Each structure stands twice: as structure tokens, then as C-alpha cells.
Amino acid sequence: MNATQLALLLAVLAPWLALTALALPALRRRATMLLPLAALPALLLALAGPDPDGGVVLPGLLDQARLALDGTARAFLLPGALLWLLAGTYAHRHPLTHPLRFAVFWLLTLAGYLLLVLAADLLTFYAGFALMTFVAYGLVTHTGGVTALRAGRLYLGLMLIGEVALFTAVAWTTMLAGPGHSPDLAGLGAEMEPAAALLFAIGFGLKLGAPGLHAWLPRAHAVAPVPASAVLSGVMIKVGALGAWRLLEGGLEVPGHGALILTALGLTGTFYAVAAGLRHSQPKTILAWSSVSQMGLVVALLGMAAAGTSSGGPPAAVWAGLAVMLAHHGLVKGALFLGTGLLSTTADRFARKTVLPGLALAGAALAAAPLSGGALAKAALTNGMPGWLAGLTGTATALLMLHFLRHTASDTPESDLKPTTGAAVGIRGMTPWLLTLVAGLLLPWWLADTSLREYALTASAIGDGVWPLLLAGILAGGAWWQRSRWPGIGRVAARPPEPDRSAPRTLPGMARLAHWWTLTERQLHRWPVIGRVATTMILLLALALAFSATPALFACKQAPDMD
């Protein structure tokens, strides 16, 4: 076993070793100290580069579990491990309400994430995916409040639907591969049944927070502790994109109309999430809706990749843009969440004057400001859609970021962190946030290929990045002026009063439509609806498995006895 294979094993085992170390009483009292250390081996592994020797085979685990670090895994592991390390450092330096409980769920979630990213076969990937998904419930409900428990139930209910679909797809694919064999991720989609591909899409789409499957994301991220929100939004939701890309690079062919629908769905979700986020005032909720919007762009990129599968695999340019966008969004969104947490725990004027400009810089980068990592991701979008449409996505993101900055500067967000004085925060407490911000601004330029960097530095690309920001500024100024005339626009009451039918209507038509849709979406997210959908899906999938297994069982019964 060479050094790279040892590094692979150490990266996967590090969270489990940290969990074992918590058995020592001295470490239990400082449990969060282990959080950044658990992600350090994975970060060093990603910095070392892909493994040329084909990875590690573990014969006695999960039907020959296989681990490998190829180019795709590295694109997810490098920004992911970096954010896990920096967010873990933030959690250590800013005391939590229940540090030991937080550390246990954090380490288990990290263990699942590392296992699925480094998996080279289907069963190992699914084991990591399921572990990360269900253990993250402890991060969502960490505070134990009523709101957190409700968000946790919604998260768990929707993830159950996704896991049922994903488990059925994995069982179906593994059964077709033959007994005693876990299919390799490489080439997995080449001969996949359309129904199995649809089930994979449901499971990955729910984790990704794809448009229409996003209900859990705004509520879960709003109530989780700040470092947990950073990794939930910046890292964990993107494993859905990893699963989808594994299928596409493995030879899954998507019909042309299916790829077009996927791209249109992603762009629709991008603009819808911005409209929904503008109706909220809590900064973490706004950031969560921003993640839904950005994942819409990821879905659009996956649709563009699917459109090229008929010509021999997804285009390399789309993969380059997707890799840059994943690194850019993960670290910048992590910096936005960590900065929001800093503002909620300090009243020090110097700290606030430092954090607010940093949040503005991160928001501009997320909106694809010129010379930012977002501009590189936008350059990839322009390869598959008109430039004006890609510019409008930047305008929508900029509007949401202006809305976020307005409420962040004026409001005090709720936080699970114990309030501390400005002196206690200091430079040492701000270091994880500063490093995350700098990494989010610089790492995409390091990961991008030469063509993307050269295009982003041209005068035309810089001009294409300026006008969406100017348009967003004009629209935001007009909206703030309009709010003085229509005070009800942009606000959502928890329980809207019964309208007076005799009184004249004070909201314009678009505001009434938005209000109606908000109430409809809220009804669809109630537990009885989710429970019925889950039950129906389980029954239908069980019937599908039974019918698919019947021919195989019949063939076994008809086989001649060789004795």
C-alpha cells in the first residue's frame, strides 16, 4: 500500500478516530477542538492531487468497498474539506449551546460526506450518502426549539422520500449487475433503465434542493447553528450534483427534450427563489433562498451537460464551469453564513465595520461581479445560453444580496451561539471567516482552466458583469421607494388576518399572486401532505421492484438442475 492509498484511508477514518477520542473525559470537555482536525487529512489529500494507482479496495466491507480520488472527486473534496475545516474552527472558537452533542453529529456527518465523495462503487457511495443525510438531522435540530424541531421534521420527511427513491434505484441497479458485485461508479449510467435514472434524479434532486424539491432547505438552514448552516449550504447540498454528474460522465444518455426541460427548470427555480427570498427579513433565511437560486443554476448546468451526452459524453467546458461554480458558491456562501454569525455575536464597532464590507464583497462575487469567481462561473453559463439571460441571473442574485445586506446591517439575526463581547471575538475569532472569504475569492481562479480565466479578463466579459449589478441597483432603489407607497409588499405574516371584503384592495396584482403562492406552498409543506406522498412513493416503488424481480425469479425456477 503506497502513500496515496494510506492518505485515502486516513481521510475517511479521521472523523471516526475523532469520535473515538471523545471517549476521553478531557476531550469531551473540549469536543469542538477535534472538528477542524478531522477534516485536515482530507484537505491534504485533495491538495496532493488525483490518485494515479486506482485507489483502495476493502474486500470485507460493503461487498468490496472501493475508494479512489479521481478528478471529479477532487473537485468536490478540495473546497468541501476546506470549508469543513474552517467552519469547524469557527465552531471551536465560538462556544455552542451543546458542544459535545454538536461535535458528535458534526463528525458523523463529515464521515458520511467523505465516504460518498471518495467512493468508487455504488454501494459505498450510497452508504455515505445515507449516513450524511440522516445524521444531519441532529445539526438541523441542535437548538431543540419548536421552530428547529418543525424544520427537522420537514427535512427528515422529504429526505425520507429521497432516500426511498435512491435506495430503490441502488437496489435495482445492483440487482441487474449480478450477485456479489457492487457496480463501479465509472460507467454506471451506460445501460441504466430510464425508471432507475428517474429515481436517482429524485433522490439527488431532493438533496440538491432542486426547484420543486427545495422545501426543506430554507427552513433547515435558518434554524441550524451558523457553522452547520455554512456546511449544509456550502457543501452538503452539492452531493446531489456529484451523484448526477457521476451518472452523466458514466454514460447516461438524456433525451434532448429532457435536457431542455432540466435547463428550463433550473433557470425558473433561479428566479423563483430570488422572488421568494425577497419576501423574508431574517438574514439566514435569505441566504438559504439564495442557495436554492444558485442550485437552480447548477441544475441548468447539468441540463447543458445532459444535452451533450448524445455526442459522446458531457462537454468538458460544462464540467469546467460546474467545478468552478461549486468551489465558488461553497466557500462564498460559507463566508456569508459565518459573517452573519459574527455580526450576531458582537457589538464591537470595529468588527462590524470589518465584517459588513466583507459580506458586501462576498455578495458581489456571488452575483458574478467582474474579476470574481462568480464571473468565471457565469462565463461557463454563457456557453450554453444567451448572454442577456445569464446577465439577468446575476441581476436577480444581486437584488437578493442587496436585500440581505440591508437586513443584516439593521437587524440582529437569531443565532445558536452564545452572545460574546466584541473583545472576545477579536481578530482570532474572525480568522476562520476571513480565510473562508479569501479562499472563496481566490480558489476558483486556481481551479479554472485557461480559457475561462482568459475570457473573464476580457473587456467584453467585464462589461457583461457590470450592467447586471447596475440594473440591480436601479431596481432595488425603485423597490425601496415603492415600499413607502405599498407597505405590505415584501412581507409575509405568520398568520395573515382574514381580509375585509368590503375594504378596497391595497396590493397590486403581482403582490396578490405572490401572496397566494406563498400560502399554497406553505400548505404543500405540511406533514400530512409529505407523509401521504412518502407512503404513496413507497408503495409504488415496492410494486415496481416486485414486477422487475419477477422475471429473474421465474428464470431461476426454470433453470435446469446441474446436479
**pLDDT digits 0-9 by tens, 505-554:** 444 444 555 555 556 666 555 555 555 555 665 566 556 555 555 554 44
Give the span between the Cα atoms of 188 and 551, in whole angstroms.
Answer: 22
How does DSSP assign 350-400, residue by residue?
HHHHHHHHHHHHHHHHHTT-TTSHHHHHHHHHTTTS-HHHHHHHHHHHHHH
Give the span between the Cα atoms of 118 and 71, in whole angstroms.
Answer: 11
Neighbour-count burial of 428, counting CB atoms closer than 10 A to its CB (0-12 exposed, 13-18 middle, 19+ buried) = exposed
Q: In the predicted model, is pLDDT for residue 555 greater than 50? A: no
Q: In the predicted model, is pLDDT for residue 150 greater than 60? A: yes
Residue range 5-45, pLDDT digits in tens: 888 999 999 999 999 999 888 888 888 899 999 999 999 99
Q: Are 225 and 145 in contact (CB under 8 A)?
A: no
Higher-confidence position of 426 and 252: 252
pLDDT average, residue stretch 300-314: 72
pLDDT average, residue stretch 497-502: 42
pLDDT average, residue stretch 380-401: 84
SS3 243: helix
Q: In the predicted model, is pLDDT for residue 263 greater than 60? A: yes
Cα–Cα–Cα angle for 131, 135, 139, nearest 5°? 145
Tell me if the pTM is above 0.75. yes
Q: In the predicted model, is pLDDT for residue 557 greater than 70? A: no
Q: In the predicted model, is pLDDT for residue 290 greater than 80? A: yes
pLDDT at 418: 45
Give the span between the Cα atoms of 400 and 279, in whole angstroms.
Answer: 10
For residue 49, name the pLDDT band (cuts at 50, 70, 90).
confident
pLDDT at 423: 38
Q: In the predicted model, is pLDDT for residue 156 greater than 70? A: yes
pLDDT at 540: 60
Higher-confidence position of 350 and 329: 329
pLDDT at 413: 41
Within 232-355, strands assigned E span none
12-17 contacts: CB < 8 A, separation 24 or more?
Answer: 12/67, 12/111, 12/114, 12/115, 12/118, 14/38, 14/39, 14/40, 14/41, 14/42, 14/114, 15/107, 15/108, 15/110, 15/111, 15/114, 16/107, 16/111
pLDDT average, residue stretch 447-458: 84
Q: Are 412 and 349 in contact (CB under 8 A)?
A: no
Q: Give the position of cell 457492487.
A: 182
For residue 257, name the pLDDT band (cuts at 50, 70, 90).
confident
SS3 347: coil
Which of 285-289, 353-357, 409-413, 449-453 shows the lowest mean pLDDT across its residues?
Answer: 409-413
Higher-confidence position of 52 and 218: 218
pLDDT at 2: 76
pLDDT at 95: 76
Quote the crossing angle between the two packed helices 387-410 and 283-307, to the nearest 10°. Answer: 160
SS3 121: strand
Other Cβ atoms closer than 10 A to 526: 11
pLDDT at 520: 62
For residue 419, name the pLDDT band (cuts at 50, 70, 90).
very low
Return the C-alpha cell found at 437.
Answer: 472569504
pLDDT average, residue stretch 487-513: 45
DSSP state at residue 66: E
* Backbone Cα Rg of the chain: 24
